[in-house]
Amino acid sequence: MKTELRVALGGRLYGVERPWGALPSTPGRITDLAVDRDGLVHVLLRRDSAVDPDGPCVVTLAADGRFLRSWGEALCLDAHKIATMPVGGLAIVDRDAHRILFCDDEGRVQKQIGESHRPGQPFNHPSDIAFAPDGGFYVADGYGNGHIHRFDASGSLIASWGSLGTAPGAFLTPHGICVLSDGRVIVADRENSRVQSFSAEGACLAVWDAFLRPQDVIADAEDRIHVCDSIPTLSLLSPDGALLGRCRPVLNGAHGLWLGAAGDIFLAETNPNRITRLFPVAI
């Protein structure tokens, strides 16, 4: 008989469903996911383009986990993170091609930021992207630069900040990023095993260090911050960083996470290769 798992987070009880979703067999492995305004779950797959056979970059699932379609066979060299855009569509971080691709829901590229295969123009192995309330966005330029780049809604670069290091405001792989409703920017500084909070202009406001290699951060409608790390735990923080709850919903850790409209929490696991869904249950 299958045992139902339960975890608690921030005063709420969740059931744990793993694996979730009818994912087809592909050469790619799950690296991230994003839920759009229609409840569709877009699962990002990455593969080693030097040795792996061709396969889709994105698998789209219905809200109940049914397979709908897959696409993007020639889209990315090294798909790393994915995010929904405020105006609809998806932004995909193509890490080792040093670019961000902005696609419609069918996978057609509408825009690109960063020059393909040209590190430093401006990205050097970027890791994640997050959108601000004003339509602008921030890119965590995680593996080569140790920077955060701020862009306006048109895609023009406004400012960059950060450096490689361990001091407050510096990074050892800014790996995940999200933006709160007041414009504060939250960064999972993975190899420093901490999460940092910044103003919209890049001033370091706080450093929270009760994590082991945090992989991703995302905020809910109340600006509560969810952090998945490599302990593995899922932590819930207040907007000011106070710990509201902690649980262990996955086996070895999640590389990405996203929130569903019905209170679900989706976690993208790489080992084992699967999606885990947390769903609210009555206490």
**CATH code where residue 68 lies:** 2.120.10.30
Examine residue 208 and state whether it is found in any structural domain, yes or no.
Answer: yes
Q: What are phi and psi of 155, to 5 degrees?
A: 95, 10
Taking only the tens place, the pLDDT of each residue in 120-144 is: 999 999 999 999 999 999 999 989 9
The counts of H helices and E strands in the chain are 0, 25
Taking only the tens place, the pLDDT of each residue in 37-77 is: 999 999 999 998 889 999 999 999 999 999 999 999 989 99
Dihedral class, residue 72 (left if φ above 0, else alpha if ψ from -120 to 50, else beta): left
CA 189 – CA 177 distance, rounded (Å): 9
Examine residue 61 and state whether it is found in any structural domain, yes or no.
Answer: yes
Examine residue 236 and state whether it is found in any structural domain, yes or no.
Answer: no
CA 143 – CA 223 distance, rounded (Å): 27
Three-class SS state of 187: strand
DSSP state of 122: S
Examine residue 250 and state whether it is found in any structural domain, yes or no.
Answer: no
What is the residue-averaged pLDDT of the chain? Answer: 96
Query: Residue 1: which pLDDT band, with cuts at 50, 70 and 90?
Result: low
Which residue range is the domain that position 98 belongs to?
5-231+255-281
Examine residue 239 and state whether it is found in any structural domain, yes or no.
Answer: no
Examine residue 175 and state whether it is found in any structural domain, yes or no.
Answer: yes
Cα-Cα-Cα-Cα dihedral sign, residues 186, 188, 192, 194: positive
Taking only the tens place, the pLDDT of each residue in 10-40 is: 999 999 999 999 999 999 999 999 999 999 9
- Both structure tokens of 120: 């430093």
Number of domains in the chain: 1
Cβ 57 vs Cβ 75: under 8 Å: yes
Examine residue 238 and state whether it is found in any structural domain, yes or no.
Answer: no
Percent of the chain exceeding pLDDT 90 equals 94
Query: Residue 105: which pLDDT band, with cuts at 50, 70 and 90?
Result: confident
Distance set, CA 131 to CA 85, 201, 256, 262 (Å): 7, 14, 16, 21
Taking only the tens place, the pLDDT of each residue in 144-201 is: 999 999 999 999 999 999 999 999 999 999 999 999 999 999 999 999 999 999 999 9
Write out the DSSP string of 211-243: -SS--EEEE-TT-PEEEE-SSS-EEEE-TT--E
CA 231 – CA 228 distance, rounded (Å): 9
Is the pTM higher than 0.75? The answer reads: yes
Q: What are phi and psi of 86, to 5 degrees?
A: -60, -30
Examine residue 249 and state whether it is found in any structural domain, yes or no.
Answer: no
> Taking the mean position of all CA atoms in its chain, how far away is CA 216?
5
